Amino acid sequence: MDERVVGIDPGLNVTGFAVVEPTRRGPVVREAGVIRPKGESSKTMAGRLLVIHEGILEILDLFPPSALALEQVHSHINHPRTSILMAHARGVIVLAAAERGVPVVGYAATRIKKTLTGSGKAGKEQMQHAIRIELGLDQLPEPHDVADACAVALCHYQIARNLRGIGGL
């Protein structure tokens, strides 16, 4: 589909995904869930990355998108190792998208918050409310990895829609 977007919340233990499509009533979640390395595959970094890579390829094959949206890696001064580990997961996700010819767009967390709520400093509750309202959901998707994937997909959807509206896409 032309405007379908896959949003990904990368993680080595749990990677959330959301497939968002436009409808006449606005964006809807077509599919959402998590990729969770288990058993033998979860014992090594290589095993986890392989499961994530294969899971993303499967999603891209089942729901070919116009773009894959990811939150940009951010680092915290007290936890530099976390950003390095997250970059591994993000790398295999970007690789899967490249293998399928899907453009990847990264967004800073503050950009996602500002796009969905109007404030780059929005709190978790405000973000959850925006996701529920925009997608017309009765409740927020669980686990939080799926909600975060919905947020990055919605961010891209809204930015792309606005750019098309002003002749930018």
**Taking the model in full, what pTM does it have?**
0.91
Q: What's the pLDDT tens digit per position in 84-130?
A: 888 899 999 999 999 999 999 999 999 999 999 999 999 888 998 89
Among 91, 134, 96, which Cα is nearest to 112's?
Answer: 134
pLDDT at 76: 66
Q: What contacts 24+ positions apart, CB below 8 Å, involve 138-147?
A: 141/18, 141/29, 141/32, 143/14, 143/16, 143/34, 144/16, 145/9, 145/11, 145/14, 145/15, 145/16, 145/34, 146/9, 146/16, 146/17, 146/18, 146/32, 146/33, 146/34, 147/16
Residue 29 in tokens: 């979640």
Mean pLDDT, range 73-91, rounded to an integer: 79
Q: What's the pLDDT tens digit per position in 6-60?
A: 999 999 999 999 999 999 989 999 999 999 999 887 899 999 999 999 999 999 9
| Catalytic sites, residue numbers | 9, 71, 145
pLDDT at 165: 67
Say if CB 34 and CB 145 are below 8 A apart. Answer: yes
Q: Characterize the bridge pairing of strands 15-23 and 104-107.
A: unpaired
pLDDT at 81: 77
Residue 167, pLDDT above cutoff 60: no
pLDDT at 41: 78
Domains of the chain: 5-165 (3.30.420.10)
What confidence tier does 1 reach under pLDDT thresholds 50, 70, 90? very low
Say if CB 16 and CB 131 are below 8 A apart. Answer: no
